[in-house]
Structure 1
């Protein structure tokens, strides 16, 4: 009933092999329990549904459309391996009725069937939870992880937060030997193991929300102040990509925009916009883009034999 199921007194009496009066006494006991332990919840008879339900005045039961939306986002994230994805979807289904489950399953069955996990295809839920406990307790840990080039590394870190971005979960952490620098990012699926070092760290409150506003593709680095010209009609896409962005000037379909980002992860996105974006400052980053464009031009100017 707390999951939103509708209970018909006669049907439930038949299922348990008792008379209707027994079920009525059960309802009375549940009413008393709810009144004592869960104020704002009560059993009522729904004349339209022809059955008894729990009416929750404080926190309404999650709706089918909300569950449908959660599952669509979960599938699109591709963040979990097959086993964990199926387990998560089944767990979410468990809070709605069978009839609602059947409707949603028919809507997402094709996506579930064709679901393609990420290349690593590793279970990560336990790692996420275990590391989250270290964050909560401010435990100093040593992690062993795999680098992009395949080599293994070790770091003593202060775990600060776990964030999700562009298919992956990341551990945001302060490296102990670089306490005065910006936090580093470690992909959770690349953390091979970690161990507690038996000591705590002191850190000021970490604002992951503020960090996410200024991070693109989870690249770390110093805070940069960008100023660029965007030529196009879909300026809202620019503002969505850069939550800190402000339009300084506008003329027809040309916008002068400034934004704050950490590190040079923005380069990947700026280059992807082609002729629609011109970076004005910082100058060193503008020069780096010019060099990359020159190298791209050189590469595409070469005649390449067909493979």
Structure 2
């Protein structure tokens, strides 16, 4: 192997977080110790010329050279395994995009850790189930994010749940992930809604940038982090203070789901709680809890919940045809 090619090869291995053992490298490339020292010196020179904060370090314990991160935190196998377990479990991306992202994240690990990581996630990789829509969304997400950064109004062509296609001029303010899907958080243009609407990214057929919005209080006053604890299933609408009776066995699930809460009183087997949430999404979630959660107030939501259960019960009273 030519000297220049060998140095590039060694440098690439160091960039991939591999630790280079002196004796192993000398044997592998059939060079002498003086040549190895010259190669290491050349790599250090390249790093200095690039003004990188990375530094080539020699570990006397295992007699290996490795590339430091200049005080930055290196991803460990433990970090990457946890990250990939969450990512694969989210089922947020189509198969091609998910596999590409897994490969890119695995590449952040030192060379010797990648094989061990593969065995930890092998089953999830082989049996990964992509979302039903099967669409690639990373490019669209990045395009919309640029519009958010540049404070640009956009026009989207969007397919609603029933299949109806609509056009909306919106002011995008955020992109979030919840319940298997990415959502665009955006205010409808010329509307007086206090809160934004949510649009699933996989249902956005096209995006057209309409131009800069200019100074707009939405960008300075709105914080999705203030709204998020009250959102269930990505439904906004009207914000309510809701009084609940829930079984103690279900309390943890309630408080994790609705972090804006206050415990009023505890009884032997139940707890009275007030939570702040958007009505439509909360009803959908509370209905899934069955008898574990009862809405006590406001009366409007209690009646809507009763109607929901009545309709569900009517379905099961009918004979199967």
Deviations 1:161-216 (A, max 9, x none): 00000000000001012144320110000000011112324233331222221110
Deviations 1:34-80 (A, max 9, x none): 578345x5332223433112344621310001111111111111111
Match for residue 109 of structure 1 among 98, 122, 128: 122
Q: Please give the alpha-carbon distance, in whole angstroms, between the structure 2 residues aligned to 1:298 and 1:180.
A: 35
Matched, 1:204 2:219: yes
Q: Please give the alpha-carbon distance, in whole angstroms, between the structure 2 residues aligned to 1:20 and 1:253.
A: 75
The answer to whether the Cα contact below 8 Å between 1:3 and 1:61 also exists between their aligned partners in 2 is no
Q: Runs of 5+ in structure 2 lacking a partner?
A: 1-13
The answer to whether the Cα contact below 8 Å between 2:22 and 2:63 also exists between their aligned partners in 1 is no
Out of 23-32 and 164-173, give the one that drifted further: 23-32
| Corresponding residue for residue 309 of structure 2 | 293
| Corresponding residue for residue 225 of structure 1 | 241
* Counterparts in 2 of 1:17 and 1:199: CA distance versus 1, 3 Å: same
Matched, 1:302 2:318: yes
Q: Please give the alpha-carbon distance, in whole angstroms, between the structure 1 residues aligned to 2:76 and 2:278.
A: 38
Q: Please give the alpha-carbon distance, in whole angstroms, between the structure 1 residues aligned to 2:55 and 2:24.
A: 21
The answer to whether the Cα contact below 8 Å between 1:6 and 1:49 also exists between their aligned partners in 2 is no
Out of 198-207 and 64-73, give the one that drifted further: 198-207
Superposed displacement of residue 32, structure 1: 5.8
Match for residue 264 of structure 2 among 248, 270, 282: 248
* Counterparts in 2 of 1:281 and 1:34: CA distance versus 1, 3 Å: farther
Matched, 1:97 2:71: no
Match for residue 24 of structure 1 among 18, 28, 37: 37
Structure 1 counterpart SS, 2:249? coil
Q: Please give the alpha-carbon distance, in whole angstroms, between the structure 2 residues aligned to 1:130 and 1:21.
A: 51
Superposed displacement of residue 20, structure 1: 3.2
Structure number with the higher helix fraction is: 2
Q: How does 1:273-288 map to 2 (within 5 A)?
A: 273-288=289-304
Q: TM-score, normalised by structure 1?
A: 0.91
The answer to whether the Cα contact below 8 Å between 1:230 and 1:256 also exists between their aligned partners in 2 is yes
Number of residue-to-residue matches in the alignment:
304
Deviations 1:242-293 (A, max 9, x none): 1112212112231111111124111111111111111011210100111122
| Corresponding residue for residue 146 of structure 2 | 133
Q: TM-score, normalised by structure 2?
A: 0.87
Q: Which runs of 4+ in 1 moved over 6 A?
A: none
Out of 188-197 and 49-58, give the one that drifted further: 49-58
Q: Indicate the RMSD between aligned Cα atoms, in angstroms.
A: 2.1
| Corresponding residue for residue 162 of structure 2 | 149
Superposed displacement of residue 128, structure 1: 0.4
Matched, 1:76 2:89: yes
* Counterparts in 2 of 1:248 and 1:23: CA distance versus 1, 3 Å: farther
